């Protein structure tokens, strides 16, 4: 006869959360020939949805986007 361990009742709401629930949402630009063709909304490694960069929300995301290469170039020129 095998014993089955029953999970104990959680003592707080945070113990109920899985790691996927605590992951932050990030946005990834998909580029082709130097143009952003799509924006992926991700939660951890899970793809939630694809956003059209021409949409209002897509333009808002891109407005806040700064390419890493620009930041590296600015750091190199100030040294």
Residue 23: band (very low, low, confident or very high) from pLDDT cuts 50, 70, 90: confident
Q: How far is CA 75 from the centre of its chain?
A: 25
Q: Is the pLDDT of residue 64 over 90?
A: no
Residues in the chain: 79
Of residues 8 and 54, more confidently modeled: 54
| Among the listed residues 50, 42, 49, 4, the one whose alpha carbon sits nearest the alpha carbon of residue 20 | 42
Distance CA 26, CA 15 (A): 24
Q: Is the pLDDT of residue 39 over 50?
A: yes
């Amino acid at each position: 006869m095998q014993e089955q361990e029953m999970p104990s009742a959680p003592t707080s709401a945070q113990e109920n959360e899985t790691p996927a629930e605590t992951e932050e949402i990030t946005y990834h630009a998909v580029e082709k020939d130097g143009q952003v063709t799509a924006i992926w909304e991700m939660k951890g490694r899970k793809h939630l949805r694809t956003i059209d960069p021409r949409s209002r929300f897509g333009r808002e995301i891109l407005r806040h986007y700064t390419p890493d290469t620009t930041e590296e170039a600015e750091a190199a020129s100030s040294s």
